């Protein structure tokens, strides 16, 4: 990777993710924050045509901190240390834009991916506002290195957490945590289960009720139904459930300065109350037998 004297990149390479574990895991939930990393490699910033502040616009700022309270409920949390503009682990490993690189990539890519066509592949071409990130094309080897050093370790760690959870509880539920840009038509919370494919209906319903009782407006699957993490781990028939949570940034963030808003602490308290209610749901409802009873 570029930047031989890049101490931030060196540290990220040693610790590409942070794993927060409760003293004892008491529930079959695992929380993930793939987009809240805010350590920007010096070499990456130098490669970019954008300002540092502009690069941060794609970041799910402070989402890791917002969800740390789940440790008190007995659930672990994994968070990517690197920023989403540098590498997006909520994409399939073939979602690369080959046109971003000098020379052919040494692995197969998915040219039909709508996310790649929008510039939002594993290595994004643009930030959320559509501004081009890079000054020039990248070396093809950079794609392989970012996959090996950052992408695979994150997914291996998340997969390991879910396998351990499945072994302990007979089921696993990954909650993928995100934030979304504010807009007039965007609700407070968007819950995504890939239109009912990735999680038991009782899980979606419980989350919806928990957030609504804290006064949040809640939508299902629109405009976000879930990304690669939800797709990969959402197998309800096998006892593996996945649900994505998107939070409207206006609730807690100054989006221009990417700093906590004055409402941060109040919002955090409401979010924590909703999560505690949600996580108190009886896990037996997620077993195939429990799912049948809940539908009756």
pLDDT tens for 60-77 read 999 999 999 999 999 999
Tell me the pairing of strands 240-248 and 172-180: parallel
- Which stretch of DSSP H or E encloses residue 60? none
Domain ranges of the chain: 7-87+139-295
pLDDT tens for 177-199 read 999 999 877 899 999 999 999 99
Q: Which residue has the tokens 């077993």?
A: 287
Q: Which residue has the tokens 């890079």?
A: 134
Look at residue 198 and give its three-state secondary structure.
coil
Q: How confident is the model at residue 288 (pLDDT cuts 50, 70, 90)?
A: low
CB 172 within 8 A of CB 235: no
CB 261 within 8 A of CB 202: no
CB 246 within 8 A of CB 134: no
pTM over 0.85: yes
Provide the mean pLDDT of the chain.
93
Residue whose C-alpha is closest to residue 32's, from 65, 85, 77:
77
Report the CATH fold assignment for 7-87+139-295: Aminopeptidase (3.40.630)
pLDDT tens for 24-61 read 999 999 999 999 999 999 999 999 999 999 999 899 99
């Amino acid at each position: 990777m570029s930047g031989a004297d890049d101490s931030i990149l060196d540290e990220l390479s040693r610790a590409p993710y942070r794993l927060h574990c409760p003293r004892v895991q008491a529930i079959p939930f695992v929380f993930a924050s793939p987009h809240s990393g805010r350590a920007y490699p010096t070499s990456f910033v130098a490669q970019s045509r954008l300002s540092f502040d502009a690069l941060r616009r794609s970041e799910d700022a402070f989402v890791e901190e917002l969800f740390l309270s789940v440790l008190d409920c007995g659930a672990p949390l994994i968070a990517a240390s690197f920023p989403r503009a540098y590498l997006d682990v909520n994409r399939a490993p073939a979602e690369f834009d080959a046109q971003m690189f000098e020379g052919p990539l040494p692995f197969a890519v998915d040219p039909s991916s709508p996310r790649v066509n929008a510039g939002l592949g594993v290595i994004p071409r643009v930030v959320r506002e559509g501004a081009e990130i890079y000054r020039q094309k990248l070396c093809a080897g950079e794609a392989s290195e970012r996959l090996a050093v950052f992408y695979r370790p994150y997914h291996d760690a998340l997969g390991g957490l879910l396998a351990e959870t499945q072994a302990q509880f007979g089921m696993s539920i990954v909650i993928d945590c995100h934030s979304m840009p504010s807009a007039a038509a965007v609700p407070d919370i968007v819950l995504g289960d890939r239109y009912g494919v990735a999680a038991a209906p009782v899980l979606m319903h419980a989350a919806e009720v928990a957030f609504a009782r804290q006064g949040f407006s809640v939508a299902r699957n629109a405009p976000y139904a879930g990304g690669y993490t939800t797709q990969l781990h959402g197998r309800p028939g096998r006892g593996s459930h996945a649900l994505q949570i998107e939070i409207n940034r206006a609730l807690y963030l100054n989006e221009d300065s990417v700093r906590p808003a004055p409402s941060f602490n109040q919002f955090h308290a409401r979010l924590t109350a909703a999560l505690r209610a949600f996580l108190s749901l009886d896990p037996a409802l997620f077993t195939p037998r429990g799912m049948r009873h809940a539908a009756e």
